[in-house]
Amino acid sequence: MSLTDFHRFKELARQENVVFYYTGYFSQSIVTAMGDSLRLRLSSLDASQTARRKLFSVFVEMAQNVVHYSADHLTASDDADHEIRMGSLWVGEADGHYYVVCANPISPTGASHIRAKLEPLRTMTNDEIKALYKEKLRAEGEAGSKGAGLGFLTVARDSSNPIEFDFVDEAGSNSPFTTFYLKATI
Amino acid sequence: MHNLYIAPTSSTPEVNFQFDQHQLSLRGESYPENAQAFFGPIMQAVQNYLPSLQSTEITVDIQLAYFNSSSTKVLLELFALFNDAAVAGNYVTLNWHYIEDDETILEFGQEVADDFMALDFHPCAMVG
């Protein structure tokens, strides 16, 4: 890539109001450092305290999802701590709202599992999401979950619009993985 | 019973459990990678402390500006232990510190109060 291309890359990010973009390995220490950077950026932007808190919450849930579940991992897949996995994360602004987008590779089984969890959240009202959150908070932990099984619900709770998601076969049809995209608008 | 102190980090709170004074506090933010791993030893210390008490006044101060979903779940388990101690005849005050316009944290505190009726719950609004 020439320096002109880097300039185009940066200029496109500016035009699209990208506040923050990262692609690479995610670990807890990287998530914490990204969080610090994100807060510094947000403190210089015109966003309410409530919006900043919700944005930070969505950012942490999505980034820790990559740490725990991305199919591209440096650490063993059944580790529950000190994990390192691959993903991408964007924070930007459009039409007066901030958004967070996260992408990471997952297995086809993972994709159908995630679809089944996310699809119902798209049509629920905020009160319904809060009620389901309360129910899940008091339920026994889900098999296969490394957290509380509340990450997607927290993202949906803190979003002002229905969450958006997609699965894209970026690596070709022979790849064992598909890329999972999740977007939340605050 | 030894007191428990853990210094804060960017993603974990200051834990200051002065068991000899019956004053326990959590301050800061909580979003460790693995909330069970972080809070496990803390829960264990509380489980060792509570059964020895009789008609004791215990003050719990929670001043967390942010906690992630897995920390939320563990906090609920921690408050259940305090509620059991209150049911068993101790007097537990839970001071719930929150930034005044932070509805998410206030609402969670109110849920804790509704779930654990034996706790003397005090919401304490702070100016952000």
Q: Give the domain CATH number at B62.
A: 3.30.750
Instruction: Please give the pLDDT value at position A146.
Output: 66
- Predicted confidence (pLDDT) at residue B117 exceeds the cutoff of 80: yes
Probe site for chain A from B36, B38, B70 (most A CB atoms < 10 A):
B70
Number of domains chain B contains:
1
Task: Report which secondary-structure segment, H or E, holds B80.
Answer: helix B69-87
Q: How far is CA A76 from CA A105, A144, A177, in A?
A: 16, 14, 17
Domain that holds residue B109: 4-126
The answer to whether B127 contacts chain A (CB < 8 Å) is no
Domain boundaries, chain A: 3-185
Q: Which pLDDT score, from 0 to 100, does residue B70 have? A: 93
Q: Using an 8 Å CB-CB cutoff, list chain A residues near B73.
A: 137, 141, 147-148, 150
The model's pLDDT over B13-71, given as tens digits with 9 standing for 90+, comes to 999 999 999 999 999 999 999 999 999 999 999 999 999 999 999 999 999 999 999 99
Report yes or no: B114 at the A interface, CB cutoff 8 Å: no
Above 0.90 for ipTM, yes or no? Answer: yes
Q: Model-level pTM?
A: 0.93
Amino acid A170: pLDDT: 81
Question: Which tokens belong to A47?
Answer: 């966003």
Q: How many helices (H) and strands (E) does chain A have?
A: 6, 5
What fold is seen in the domain A3-185?
Heat Shock Protein 90 (3.30.565)
Which parts of chain A sit beneath pLDDT 50? none
